[in-house]
Amino acid sequence: QQPVQSPQAVILREGEDAVINCSSSKALYSVHWYRQKHGEAPVFLMILLKGGEQKGHDKISASFNEKKQQSSLYLTASQLSYSGTYFCGTEERYNQGGKLIFGQGTELSVKP
């Protein structure tokens, strides 16, 4: 069953912050985050594992609450380059990321 992402779309001004949520009805082993720019392939951002710590690089970070089967992606001080569609992918057991179920995506637009 697909995880549910919220919001479906968000518009920001440069420098503003955003949070994208991913929620599953099933117990999860891991949550993966990807970003897809228009007309391009999805690109890996990060993986959060059950029992692991919050991750991040640069101004993009994420958390995973395994008890609630929820993950959140945090984008701080957004830049124009952050625009795109963000997908979470969930795994119920370790499969080297090979069996991901993706959410429907959250479209993020950053305006000057």
Partner 1 sequence: EAQVTQNPRYLITVTGKKLTVTCSQNMNHEYMSWYRQDPGLGLRQIYYSMNVEVTDKGDVPEGYKVSRKEKRNFPLILESPSPNQTSLYFCASSTPGGEQFFGPGTRLTVL
- Rounded CA-CA distance 22/20 in Å is 7
Which residues make up the interface to partner 1 (CB under 8 A)?
Answer: 2, 30, 32, 34, 40-44, 47, 87, 89, 91, 95-105
Q: 16 vs 47, which CB is nearer to partner 1? A: 47
Q: Which residues contact 59 (CB under 8 A, 6 or more apart)?
A: 75, 76, 77, 78, 79
**Residue 8 has which token pair?**
């479906």
Q: 43 vs 77, which CB is nearer to partner 1? A: 43
Q: Could you give phi then psi for residue 96, rounded to 5 degrees?
A: 55, 30
- Work out how close the CB of 15 gets to partner 1 at its nearest, in angstroms, rounded to a whole number: 28
Q: Could you give phi then psi for residue 81, rounded to 5 degrees?
A: -70, -10
- Work out how close the CB of 10 gets to partner 1 at its nearest, in angstroms, rounded to a whole number: 16
Q: 19 vs 101, which CB is nearer to partner 1? A: 101
**Residue 110 has which token pair?**
């950053």
- Work out how close the CB of 55 gets to partner 1 at its nearest, in angstroms, rounded to a whole number: 12
Q: 19 vs 100, which CB is nearer to partner 1? A: 100
